[in-house]
Structure 1
């Protein structure tokens, strides 16, 4: 799995961080998503998929 994000579209809701904290974080100054792991291990795939589904701005893109 490869993860990419569109920072420009991020609304800072933080759902991705709650779902997959090992893959996503947020910038302190504005809450915009930070991608911690572009190729998360298999043990993180389910949480990463959930994060993408929960994102209200749909800025998380997965390639499997």
Structure 2
């Protein structure tokens, strides 16, 4: 997921994206805990995506205020 794609979305879509990513990250953590996760690098990728979306969301909220 690229930052330019995220900047094109509005605040509501970004908040939904954060929620979806948090759910996906939780599922990956549960798979890791039960040793069903084949590719552990997905955890880091998801965590970085969450940070990227939250950063852009904060920028948009700050710009709107």
Query: TM-score under structure 2 normalisation?
Result: 0.31
Give 1 or 2 for the bigger CA radius of gyration: 2
Whose helix fraction is larger, Structure 1's or Structure 2's? Answer: 2
Whose strand fraction is larger, Structure 1's or Structure 2's? Answer: 1
Query: TM-score under structure 1 normalisation?
Result: 0.31
